[in-house]
Amino acid sequence: MSERKASGGAGRATIRDVAERAGVSVASVSRVLSGNYPVSDELRRRVMKVVRDLDYVTNAHARSLAGGGTPTVAILINNITGAAFAHVAKGVEGAASLRGWLSLVGTTGDDPERELALVNLMRQQGVAAVVLLGGAYDFDEYQLRMARFARSLDAAGSHLVLVGRPPLEGDVAATTVDYDNEGGAYAMASHLLSAGHRRVLVLPGHSELTTAQGRLRGARRAFEAYGVPFDPGMVLHGPYDYGHGYDAVEESLRRELDFTAVLAGTDVVAAGAMHALRGAGLRVPEDISIVGYDDIPLASQLTPQLTTVHVPYEEMGRAALRAVADRREGGAGRRGGGDGAHLVLGTHVVVRNSVQPPARRS
Amino acid sequence: MSERKASGGAGRATIRDVAERAGVSVASVSRVLSGNYPVSDELRRRVMKVVRDLDYVTNAHARSLAGGGTPTVAILINNITGAAFAHVAKGVEGAASLRGWLSLVGTTGDDPERELALVNLMRQQGVAAVVLLGGAYDFDEYQLRMARFARSLDAAGSHLVLVGRPPLEGDVAATTVDYDNEGGAYAMASHLLSAGHRRVLVLPGHSELTTAQGRLRGARRAFEAYGVPFDPGMVLHGPYDYGHGYDAVEESLRRELDFTAVLAGTDVVAAGAMHALRGAGLRVPEDISIVGYDDIPLASQLTPQLTTVHVPYEEMGRAALRAVADRREGGAGRRGGGDGAHLVLGTHVVVRNSVQPPARRS
DNA sequence: GTAACGATGGGATACGGTTTCCGCACCGGC
DNA sequence: GCCGGTGCGGAAACCGTATCCCATCGTTAC
């Protein structure tokens, strides 16, 4: 029995305890466990028995300190609630655990300061990559800060992956996994226009959010393509939530805005909008058509089922992790910025039951 | 310049690099950074400047190896998608980061083997606690395995927390945070019964899932209390998803089962059921009433808004972390099993628009 | 004026593994 | 029978940080 520590008591068994009890050296135990060195069957058997008896597990901190260790990927998100996030996270986590990697999550709560602190924390943890989810803010200072993060992470042998937002400007060592946001909005708006709608209430989201900007741009382009004048007065900005959809429609109704369709920036916004329309005695889609964006499960669970834009969120998560893993395997010497890969996945309209040609107005 | 490593190049700066460059000892740098030892202003200034210049961050692995380090809590869940989970996770993560703790997540995908492997992995990571989310399976072997996990974790100075499932049998060192599952079901069924419904289709969930068992038990008790015979033929088991709700109702309709209300095991199941009813030309709640369970955002976004049972998921997450944190601060000497705390949070019915007295049958 | 003391900084060691470098023993070949 | 090769196990040097113990210096008290 060791005199350093009562091996049967509390606390964690060390590799030394195992070695002592098995009557072998520490090095041998390590070799048996990692299996990257030839050991005799006899030794292996003896060591493994003690490992089981003591219920020994290696200390991950010590292991990573010594060079080994399982890679970890950090997922940063403003709000862990929210179906779109969940699917990206599922993709990342799934792909990570498939390779034996770990996933850390942190929430930023829309607070840039907190985001900064978290990235730093993750850097301390020595994560293989930091995956930043969701639309970015279009402030100069924000962009600069993010670029500094990217460099900093890169210098530490880690990597920044931006998911669902446009790439950073300049020569920054960050990978971007994005979807065709504007194209989806274009297609969605075109669908509405080709059904005959001309007066459309547009709820793109917060005006500083890059996602919202892209969706608005796509919609406007579609109007131009159809030769329909785009009325800025029909655009209401606000957060991506149920309440905003509800409030925006209610206010538009109160102000007697003339519209036959609602182009919502998000399925959840669409749900809120739908509720407000119903509350005002309007039928969907008979009186007003409505479309969403994201194609989260909610979209097909509403009544009527929502026509929306499908975004391959889970696949984006997988792609993000794949990018990091490839980079880590392939490029041992290509450090130093400048190789910001940029992936763009496609989107497409999912036609369901929330759109009809506009009714003749009374 | 150091001869061990080019300090300006790639790789991570160590505390030694900082010490060297600042012309002080390693110990001093450590003290300046941790701030738990008196240092002169002059020293602090010199060190901090170099820290900024080198963009130095401490190595978390080394730090935790040496005794310090930020605690980490592991969250294990079968499926990261799913609103109920998201809220618990939000609670855990929020409370964790409030204290400066980190959150690891892993998904088990309903695979007991994977769950085992994950718990072991987390044990290696030296997490402060493992939080297991969701209903447990009512197999003996499963219970035994979980008890072994609990012991194992406890021996390593960690702790197992079970959220949303009944406590383990016997004298196991695991904390349980649960909600009044059966009571909620009782109240929900009572609501239906007091509205006059007598023939109720019950979709409790998978029969081996403890959650489903509790909900079924609560419903049955309510029927007894109202003196209404409970017909086992009206109970359809299945997974907690949209498809099951849809299929169950469709089949019941096809088999011409006589019912005026649906008691769904989950809001999502209710959504599926509602869709199937609509597809058959039935109105909700005029023809058929329907209630859910969980009170996820979806419940209030459906049309009609769903009457359901509110479960304080986020608060449960917070409570779980609080339990761990308290235990870690308070009880340095109370290790060794036997103190399985058990918290039960209340539930209540949220009345919305999906229930009406039964229509007179044709 | 000197001894005791408080405030700081430095050196050394521990934390728990991995890995390199060595040595020992055993084997076959000449 | 001696020598070189091979296979396997041990000792020790790290990995990067926190902290204990001691040295030093300037003060304060007697």
User: Which nucleotide has the shortest C1'-to-CA distance from A65?
Assistant: D15
Strand D, nucleotides < 7 Å from a protein CB: these are 7-12, 14-20
CA-based angle A289:A292:A293, to the nearest 5?
Answer: 155
The pLDDT tens digits for A225-251 are: 999 999 999 999 999 999 999 999 999
pLDDT at A360: 66
* DSSP, residue by residue, B125-147: TT-SEEEEESPPB--HHHHHHHH
What is the Cα–Cα distance from A86 to A338, expressed in whole angstroms? 31
Would you give the distance in Å from CA A174 to the centre of its chain? Answer: 15
If phi > 0 it is left, if psi is from -120 to 50 it is alpha, else beta; for residue A68 that is beta
B60, B81, B272 ranked by CB distance to A90: nearest: B81
pLDDT at A340: 67
Instruction: Quote the DSSP letter at residue B307.
Output: B
CA distance A11 to chain B (A): 5
Residue B261: enclosing H or E segment and its boundaries?
strand B261-264
Mutate to test the interface with B, among A34, A65, A93, A283 (most CBs of B within 10 A): A65
Q: What is the 3-state secondary structure (H, E, C) of A79-128?
A: CCCCHHHHHHHHHHHHHHHHCCCEEEEEECCCCHHHHHHHHHHHHHCCCC
The pLDDT tens digits for B263-282 are: 999 999 999 999 999 999 99
pLDDT at A327: 87
Give me the CA A67–C1' C18 separation in Å, rounded.
Answer: 7
Q: In chain B, which stretches have pLDDT less than 70? A: 1-10, 135, 330-340, 360-362
- Residue A116: CB atoms within 10 Å: 15
Asked if B157 lies within 8 A of A87 by C-beta distance, the reply is no
Asked if B82 lies within 8 A of A82 by C-beta distance, the reply is no
Nearest chain B residue to A269 by CA distance is B301
pLDDT at B338: 47
**Residue A4's pLDDT band (boundaries 50, 70, 90)?**
very low
Nearest chain B residue to A14 by CA distance is B156
Give me the CA B27–C1' D22 separation in Å, rounded.
Answer: 14
Which of these, A326, A271, A301, A216, lies nearest to B273 by C-alpha position?
A301
Say if residue A333's pLDDT is above 80: no
> Which residue has the closest alpha carbon to D20 C1'?
B27
CB-CB neighbors (< 8 A) of A55 in chain B: 152, 155
- Which residues are in reach of strand D, CB within 7 A? A 23-28, 38-40, 42-43, 62, 65-67; B 4, 12, 14-16, 26-27, 30-31, 33-34, 36, 58-59, 62-63, 65-68
Asked if A275 lies within 8 A of B157 by C-beta distance, the reply is no
Give the CA distances from residue B362 to residues B128, B201, B276, B280, B358, in Å, rounded to whole numbers and listed in that order. 61, 19, 20, 16, 12
Backbone angles phi, psi at A257, to 5 degrees: -65, 145
Give me the residues paired with residue A315 across strands: none
What is the Cα–Cα distance from A162 to A139, expressed in whole angstroms? 16
| Residue entry with tokens 């929210």 | A82
Backbone angles phi, psi at B82, to 5 degrees: 120, 120
pLDDT at A135: 67
A81, A242, A336 ranked by CB distance to B86: nearest: A81
Nearest chain A residue to B117 by CA distance is A100
Which of these, B134, B282, B360, lies nearest to B262 by C-alpha position?
B282
Which are the contacts of B47, defined by CB distance < 8 A and separation ≥ 6? Answer: B18, B22, B24, B28, B29, B32, B33
Q: Which two tokens stand for residue B250?
A: 């469709």
If phi > 0 it is left, if psi is from -120 to 50 it is alpha, else beta; for residue B357 that is beta
CA distance B149 to chain A (A): 11
CB-CB neighbors (< 8 A) of A301 in chain B: 242, 268, 271-272, 275, 298, 302
Asked if B80 lies within 8 A of A90 by C-beta distance, the reply is yes
What is the Cα–Cα distance from B32 to B39, expressed in whole angstroms? 7
Which are the contacts of A97, defined by CB distance < 8 A and separation ≥ 6? Answer: A103, B106, B107
Asked if B124 lies within 8 A of A157 by C-beta distance, the reply is no
CB-CB neighbors (< 8 A) of A145 in chain B: none
Which are the contacts of A60, defined by CB distance < 8 A and separation ≥ 6? Answer: A69, A70, B61, B124, B125, B126
| Residue entry with tokens 């036609």 | A351
CA distance B105 to chain A (A): 6
**In B300-322, which positions are buried (b, 16+ CB within 10 angstroms) versus exposed (e)?**
bbbbbebbbbbbbbbbbbbbbbb
CA distance B230 to chain A (A): 30
> Which residue has the closest alpha carbon to D7 C1'?
A38
Say if residue A118's pLDDT is above 70: yes
Give the number of C-alpha atoms closer than 13 A to the C-alpha of residue B150, restricted to the C-beta side.
27
Whether the bond between B297 and the residue before it is cis, its omega within 30 degrees of 0, is: no
pLDDT at B38: 87
Instruction: Quote the DSSP letter at residue B331.
Output: -
CA distance A46 to chain B (A): 22
The pLDDT tens digits for A142-198 are: 888 888 889 888 888 899 999 988 888 887 889 999 999 999 999 999 999 999 999
Q: Which residue has the higher pLDDT, A208 or A134?
A: A208
pLDDT at A331: 57
- Does residue B287 sit in helix, strand or coil? coil
Identity of the amino acid at A5 = K
- Residue B155: CB atoms within 10 Å: 21
CB B109 within 8 A of CB B78: yes
Asked if A80 lies within 8 A of B93 by C-beta distance, the reply is yes
**In B166-176, which positions are buried (b, 16+ CB within 10 angstroms) versus exposed (e)?**
bbbeeebbbbb
Give me the CA A40–C1' C25 separation in Å, rounded.
Answer: 15
Say if residue A335's pLDDT is above 60: no
Which of these, B101, B150, B98, lies nearest to B123 by C-alpha position?
B150
CB A154 within 8 A of CB A324: no
CB B277 within 8 A of CB B290: yes
pLDDT at A8: 45
Nearest chain B residue to A57 by CA distance is B124
CB-CB neighbors (< 8 A) of B10 in chain A: 155, 157, 335-336
Say if residue A211's pLDDT is above 70: yes
Average pLDDT score over chain A:
90
What is the Cα–Cα distance from B217 to A150, expressed in whole angstroms? 54
The pLDDT tens digits for A32-83 are: 998 888 888 999 999 999 999 999 999 999 999 998 788 999 999 988 888 8
Nearest chain B residue to A296 by CA distance is B81
Q: What is the 3-state secondary structure (H, E, C) of chain A?
A: CCCCCCCCCCCCCCHHHHHHHHCCCHHHHHHHHHCCCCCCHHHHHHHHHHHHHHCCCCCHHHHHHCCCCCCEEEEEECCCCCHHHHHHHHHHHHHHHHCCCEEEEEECCCCHHHHHHHHHHHHHCCCCEEEEECCCECCHHHHHHHHHHHHHHHHCCCCEEEECCCCCCCCCCEEEEEECHHHHHHHHHHHHHHCCCCCEEEEEECCCEHHHHHHHHHHHHHHHHCCCCCCHHHEEECCCCHHHHHHHHHHHHHCCCCCCEEEECCHHHHHHHHHHHHHCCCCCCCCCEEECCECCHHHHHCCCCCEEEECCHHHHHHHHHHHHHHHHHHCCCCCCCCCCCEEEECCEEECCCCCCCCCCCC
Strand C, nucleotides < 7 Å from a protein CB: these are 7-12, 14-20
CA distance B96 to chain A (A): 10
- In this prediction, what percent of chain B has a pLDDT beyond 70? 93
Mutate to test the interface with A, among B65, B90, B159 (most CBs of A within 10 A): B65
Instruction: Quote the DSSP letter at residue B66.
Output: T
CB B105 within 8 A of CB A93: yes
Which of these, B84, B63, B22, B62, lies nearest to B299 by C-alpha position?
B84
Say if residue A318's pLDDT is above 80: yes
- Which residues are in reach of strand C, CB within 7 A? A 4, 12-16, 26-27, 29-31, 33-34, 36-37, 56, 58-59, 62-63, 65-68; B 23-28, 38-40, 42-43, 62, 65-67
Asked if B271 lies within 8 A of A126 by C-beta distance, the reply is no
CB A313 within 8 A of CB A84: yes
